[in-house]
Amino acid sequence: MGLDHTSVKPHERLAQVLSGEMEQVNTLIRDRMASEHAPRIPEVTAHLVEAGGKRLRPMLTLASAKMCGYDGPYHVHLAATVEFIHTATLLHDDVVDESAQRRGRPTANLLWDNKSSVLVGDYLFARSFQLMVETGSLRVLDILANASATIAEGEVLQLSAATDLRTDESVYLQIVRGKTAALFSAAMEVGGVIAGVDDALTQALFDYGDALGIAFQIVDDLLDYQGDTKATGKNVGDDFRERKLTLPVIKAIAKADDEERAFWKRTIEKGKQEDGDLEHALDLLNRHGALEATRDDALEWADKAKTALSAIPQSDLRDMLIDLADYVVARIN
Amino acid sequence: MGLDHTSVKPHERLAQVLSGEMEQVNTLIRDRMASEHAPRIPEVTAHLVEAGGKRLRPMLTLASAKMCGYDGPYHVHLAATVEFIHTATLLHDDVVDESAQRRGRPTANLLWDNKSSVLVGDYLFARSFQLMVETGSLRVLDILANASATIAEGEVLQLSAATDLRTDESVYLQIVRGKTAALFSAAMEVGGVIAGVDDALTQALFDYGDALGIAFQIVDDLLDYQGDTKATGKNVGDDFRERKLTLPVIKAIAKADDEERAFWKRTIEKGKQEDGDLEHALDLLNRHGALEATRDDALEWADKAKTALSAIPQSDLRDMLIDLADYVVARIN
């Protein structure tokens, strides 16, 4: 079965090239999500872990380590670590957002309860921590401890900033780094660190993950206003209805006149929404070019991701990661 | 002001002897609970941290390290780590238990919301992790990662086991190790590990913390059925009303006839409680000597704690820890 590189998506090519190691990662995840005493833990975890996510974050770690010439066993531990941290944050996010669906299935907080989601998330976070201790690298522990703090800080910041009209692009970026980019950049960075690359290369790996994560989240936020429901699995305007200030609206508010400001104040800050408000919001986004400006930002971050990787010696894996940056923004381009 | 050792409580004597270092711990806690971007984090944390808890766990770490001859700076980091982990679990526990009061004040989930409690707990857990990375000791990281996993596992186990009449004393012990003893034992153990003591001494420190924590929790569970509301700040029968199977009831169920089993099944497993049920439960506990047997268990664990410390060379700190074990069970003796 030959691979047609023009049609196979970059994350699928990564999955094929890394399939042997991803199998080890999956085995390790299944092994470590077990609990001798509390069967609820593997039940809840399996519901999420086996729901068919793309495993993008652990693949970044594996690709980063291999691309940097690592030939030890611990990139598998770190990839599982990163997936556990991701799964723990999803469990807690669904409690915080009171979500009912994730990856097309009912959320754990709905199938079991909020208690289970909170505590199983804590368990997975502790497990991720045990896995990274096994690598014996204090630098890796430092990176992932910092990423974990950035993630939680970004989520708390979002609680208060999401409905506050004073939230500007710099606050948005902090939130996005927390909810998405911090784990992407840490996933890339630890791959280089266990491979023992120098500081400049480590920085390049971090920068790629950071920019890729930001591009990824901006695309997500843009598609919320102009996506095709069938393709994205989300309804247009979910963020508007949930009163989440994202980049398109932040850009429109920056150009708003008094009447428009009053509209955003009523719908987002006070949450008093009426029929026709979403249509009016979309009209304002178009009027101020907010959707195109958001799209330009996403493309710029994808470019930054690719530029960062130009510091890494050429290899098939590097080229797949470069293609991945293009792919992340292809849905809006 | 001379110290009258016969009337000053052992944790107060520890607080006096360790006051200089506890001041450093408190400064470090205030410093690290700050967040540049999310002011909600220090608000929520301060509400809990400054509510006047006894700081028992960080004192155990300081006492353990000093008793073992440690003269470096990192016992302060580890004491703050232990307090952060404790605070994070309290925030999550109050969400899970839907509690309205803690330490005589409204809980954070009530004053802010569940979302803030979940995410600020995650932040403190990440912060605790950063603090321990700073000690540079992989062994310390391993111990605290394992303790964190045991804590979360015990809490999940309690979710399903607390209302299940099949829960026996061994399951109860697992839950108690998770919710209380794992952090006590880790707090003691890491003090010895950074002081560089040998394995036998490290084990003795662990055993003391483990037994002290178990005694502490058994006393708590016993006082729930026979306490003086004024002294404990809890109402008699709270655990019964909240359908929590604790040691006294487990012991009574082990001796129950069919009619009594039906009573426990209705009140605890099905949660159908009527007027007079608590009085009948107390009658059954007395009839089967369950309260005395529980008291005996607590005293036995306090003795185990003291015996463990006999392996440590005599010192004032050691003797205060021995007195602490007696003090923990003094309320029921």
Q: What is the pLDDT of residues A68-115, one digit of tens each?
A: 999 999 999 999 999 999 999 999 988 887 777 776 778 777 777 888
Q: Confidence class of residue A6 from pLDDT cuts 50, 70 and 90?
A: low
pLDDT band at A252 (very low <50, low <70, confident <90, very high): very high
B34 half-sphere exposure, CB direction, 13 A CA radius: 7
Beta partners for A105? A102
Residues of B in contact with A125 (CB under 8 A): 122, 125, 148, 152
SS3 B140: helix
Residues of chain B with CATH 1.10.600.10: 11-136, 165-181+197-333
Q: B114, A114: Cβ pair inside 8 Å?
A: yes
Q: Which of B32, B75, B33 is nearest to B317 (CA)?
A: B75
Nearest CA among A100, A66, A96, A190 for reference residue A136: A190
Q: What is the pLDDT of residue B310?
A: 93
User: Which residues in chain B touch residue A35, judged by CB atoms under 8 angstroms apart?
Assistant: 153, 156
So what's the ipTM on this one? 0.92
Architecture in CATH for domain B11-136: Orthogonal Bundle (1.10)
Give A48's pLDDT tier (boundaries 50, 70, 90).
Answer: confident
Chain B interface residues facing chain A, Cβ-Cβ under 8 Å?
Answer: 35, 37-41, 89, 92, 95-96, 114-116, 118-120, 122-123, 125-127, 129-130, 133, 136, 138, 141-142, 145-146, 148-149, 151-157, 159-160, 171, 174
How far, in Å, CA of A290 to CA of A255, rounded? 9
Whether B153 and A95 lie within 8 Å, measured CB to CB? no
A40 contacts B123? CB cut-off 8 A? no
Locate A153 and state its tokens.
Answer: 């800080």
Q: Which residue of B has its CA nearest to A179?
A: B119
Contact B92 A129 (CB under 8 A): no
CA distance readout (Å), B82 to A306, B93, B322: 42, 16, 21
Contact B152 A120 (CB under 8 A): yes
- Chain B interface mutation, best of A129, A130, A142, A244, highest count of B Cβ atoms under 10 Å: A129
Assigned token pair, A320: 């797949």
Q: Which of A78, A182, A84 is nearest to A124 (CA)?
A: A84
DSSP state of B5: T
Nearest to B174 among A37, A136, A155 (CB): A37
pLDDT at B1: 39
CA distances from B116 to A144, B40, B45, B150, B196 (A): 22, 8, 10, 24, 39
Place of tokens 């652990």: A58
Q: In a mutagenesis test of the B interface, which of A44, A74, A119 is the best target, namely the one with the most B β-carbons within 10 Å?
A: A119
Residues from chain B that touch A190, judged by Cβ atoms under 8 A, are none
- Decide if B155 and A119 are in contact by the 8 Å CB cutoff: yes
> Cβ–Cβ of B40/A160 closer than 8 Å?
yes
Q: What is the pLDDT of residues A288-311, one digit of tens each?
A: 999 999 999 999 999 999 999 998
To which CATH superfamily is domain A19-330 assigned?
A: Farnesyl Diphosphate Synthase (1.10.600.10)
- Cα-trace Rg, chain B: 20
* Distances from the Cα of B30 to the Cα of B27, B42, B127, B133, B214, angstroms: 5, 8, 12, 18, 30
Q: In this complex, do A149 and B41 lie within 8 Å of one another by their Cβ atoms?
A: no
Query: How many CB pairs below 8 A link A and B?
Result: 142
Tokens of B107: 């809980």
Chain A residues within 8 Å of chain B (Cβ atoms): 35, 37-41, 89, 92, 95-96, 114-116, 118-120, 122-123, 125-127, 129-130, 133, 136, 138, 141-142, 145-146, 148-149, 151-157, 159-160, 171, 174
Interface test mutation site (partner B, options A97, A114, A123, A164, max chain B beta carbons within 10 A): A123
Quick one: average pLDDT of A225-234? 69
Lowest mean pLDDT among A158-167, A226-235, B35-44, B279-288: A226-235
For residue B173, give the chain A residue with the closest CA.
Answer: A37
Chain B's closest residue to A91, CA to CA, is B118
In a structure prediction context, what are the per-residue pLDDT tens digits for chain B, which is 333 residues long?
A: 344 455 789 999 999 999 999 999 999 999 998 887 788 888 888 887 777 678 999 999 999 999 999 999 999 999 999 999 999 999 998 888 777 777 677 877 777 788 889 999 999 999 999 999 999 999 999 999 999 999 999 999 998 888 899 999 999 999 999 999 999 999 999 999 999 999 999 999 999 999 999 999 999 999 999 876 666 566 788 899 989 999 999 999 999 999 999 999 999 999 999 999 999 999 999 999 999 999 999 999 999 999 999 989 999 999 999 999 999 999 887
Q: Does A118 sit within 8 Å of B153, measured CB to CB? A: no
Could A122 and B152 be called an inter-chain contact, meaning their C-beta atoms sit closer than 8 Å?
yes
Please report which helix (H) or strand (E) contains residue B102, including its range.
strand B101-102
Task: Write out chain A residues lying below 8 Å of B96, CB-based.
Answer: 114-115, 118-119
> What CATH number labels B165-181+197-333?
1.10.600.10
Of chain B, the end-to-end C-alpha distance in Å amounts to: 30
Q: What is the pLDDT of residue A332?
A: 84
Average pLDDT over residues A30-57: 83
Crossing angle (nearest 10°) for helices A277-287 and A290-309: 60
Which residues of chain A have a CB within 8 Å of the CB of B157? 37-38
Q: Is B253 helix (H, G, I), strand (E, B) or coil?
A: helix
B148/A119 Cβ within 8 A: no
Chain A neighbors of B160, CB-CB under 8 A? 38-40
Token pair for A284: 């304002």
Cβ of B145 and A133 within 8 Å? Answer: yes
Task: Pick the residue from chain A with its C-alpha nearest to B161.
Answer: A38
